[in-house]
Amino acid sequence: MFSQTCHKFSGVVDSFLASNGGALRKATQDHVRESLRVLHEALERYDLNQISLSYNGGKDCQVMVILLLAALWRRFGEDPAVLNNLGAFKSVYVASEKAFEEVDTFVDNSCQEYGLQQIRLSEPMKAAFEHFLSENPTVKAIIVGIRRSDPYGQQLKPFDPTDSGWPDFMRVHPVLEWKYVNIWDFLRGTDSAYCCLYDKGYTSLGGTDSTVPNPKLLKKGTCAEFLPAYALVKDEEERLGRFRK
């Protein structure tokens, strides 16, 4: 049942918040608490049938989903029937035209693990959300895993209406202020499974025609072996494996 999934990941988050790991761990724990505050506010503002999330299997979205499940349990754990009546949380997957098979497989598997109802769309981003909202007219807010260092993330706020010309909904950004190292500290600190491409040197996942392993992670003395994504430190180097088509 969905309530059991939320309960499980609430325990995962609580264990992480109780863990020790020096200055980095403390900073990540502070980000966790702020993200939970944003998510709690979203759950106060909107009914459950008014909220969805955008999930593409990437590391940032994965942190976002785990925290959302914990926030749901904290909000509704005393009445788990509310969560079980929901059945699953609607998740929009706007797939790249040339998606990695590994990403598609991870999205499928993780949606099952997290209790998400996957709605896969293969249209351009704007058209995909227009399509989704036309079929889900109760949705007023969509939780998004963008971070401040991502393209177009510099001016965002935790709650931001969509721009003019886009379908009308509130974008909720719970991991906006997280740094790259905090994302990996959380995923590894919670022993979370993640897409296998990250272990092959990919640090930001797009399509097969726009993504390569990050050159900063190339192992010295080799021409095709890469360190895992969590070996990278600087936010500004995260997207060096992405290029325009």
Model confidence pLDDT, tens digit, residues 141-189: 999 999 999 888 788 999 999 998 999 999 999 999 999 999 999 999 9
165-193 burial, b for 16+ CB within 10 Å, e for fewer?
eebebbbbbbbbbbbbbbbbbbbebbebe
Choosing among 3.40.50.620, 3.90.550.50, 1.10.10.10, 3.40.50.10800, the CATH entry for 2-172 is 3.40.50.620
Angle at 190 between CA 76 and CA 119, to 5 degrees: 60
Mean predicted lDDT score pLDDT of the chain? 94
pLDDT tens profile 88-147: 899 999 988 788 999 999 999 999 999 999 999 988 889 999 999 999 999 999 999 999
- What pLDDT band is residue 244 in, cutting at 50, 70 and 90? low
SS3 93: strand
Given a cut of 70, whether residue 245 has pLDDT beyond it is no
Given a cut of 90, whether residue 222 has pLDDT beyond it is no
pTM above 0.75, yes or no: yes
Domain layout of the chain by residue ranges: 2-172
